[in-house]
Structure 1
């Protein structure tokens, strides 16, 4: 007899990644895809000259955060990406907190990523094809100064 899954615990299954929300400051925005939620600790290599071991010591160094890329459909009169990007003047830009929340089937937060002082570094408009049959998608790449994760 086939297993219908009714005997398995509901806490054993991983959470699907297709239900999420993104907030820029306090404004909720809809995206098709979010990627680049990564953090890395750079390594520091050191070896003093009279060390009897002929190898380096590796220590954790500064943290490095990847740029976050977000993709969404193009809608008429929706220029939020471009409006934010147009605010860049010399070395000044309005920096925003960005919150990305992975949701469960009831809409509750499962995991929350918070980006500190985010600002746009690149916008890519949609490609245009006379024989295309896809939705127009635009992409924004944002940089930030910190990534914190909260598990719910």
Structure 2
């Protein structure tokens, strides 16, 4: 039996858009899809109901990180999209403590739908974080490369 590292433990998520790195994020939520099913009842067959797939709905992806040196890359990409940029491709890679890719997801038709900057308040100092929410029209998973 082969031994492997625990793939459920990840330290950060690296994001690239059209091979241009946007940096690392500490939280990634919403990687998923739902296959919408339609129920069909067949005449004369009372023992079952057919479940037929009709469409696929992809969840929005929400990425969060502390504001960092790479924050300008994110701002430049969002500004380009606001200026009329077309949908693109992106990759989200889960990294372990050694920096190895544990798993990777490729996204098609990616556009930012929301960017939220840090809340700045001197009365309650906290880590300044930014959040990016992406919409997409397709997702494919791949095995981590181990490097």
TM-score range (shorter-chain normalised) is 0.7 to 0.9
User: 1:83 — aligned with what?
Assistant: 76
Query: For the pair shown, which has the larger CA radius of gyration, 1 or 2?
Result: 1
Output one character per residue of 1:42-97: Cα deviation in whole Å (capped at 9) or x when no partner: 1111124x3341763212232221111111222479443343333335xx433221
**Does the 8 Å CA contact 2:15/2:91 hold for their aligned counterparts?**
yes
**Aligned runs of 1:127-146 on 2, under 5 Å?**
127-146=119-138
The count of aligned residue pairs is 141
Say if 1:81 and 1:123, in contact at 8 Å, map to a contact too: no
- Normalising by structure 1, report the TM-score: 0.75
SS of the counterpart of 1:70?
Answer: strand
Q: Structure 1: any 5+ residue segments left out of the alignment?
A: 1-8
Q: Could you tell me which runs of 5 or more consecutive residues in structure 2 were left unpaired when the two chains were aligned.
A: none
In the alignment, structure 1 residue 45 sits paired with structure 2 residue 39: yes
Which deviations, in whole Å up to 9, do the C-alpha atoms of 1:91-149 show, x marking residues without a partner? x4332211111234543332110111211111122223332221111111111111000
- Counterpart position of 2:109: 117
Contact 1:15 1:104 in 2 (8 A): no
Query: After the TM superposition, which residues 28-107 of structure 1 pair with which residues of structure 2 at under 5 Å, given as runs?
Result: 28=21, 29-48=23-42, 50-53=43-46, 56-75=49-68, 78-86=71-79, 87-88=81-82, 92-107=84-99
Q: Are the equivalent residues in 2 in contact too, given 1:32–1:72 (CA < 8 A)? A: yes
1:120 and 1:77 mapped to 2: Cα distance? 16
What's the TM-score once normalised by structure 2's chain length? 0.77
Larger relative strand fraction: 2
| Cα gap change, 1:83 to 1:112, in 2 (>3 Å) | same
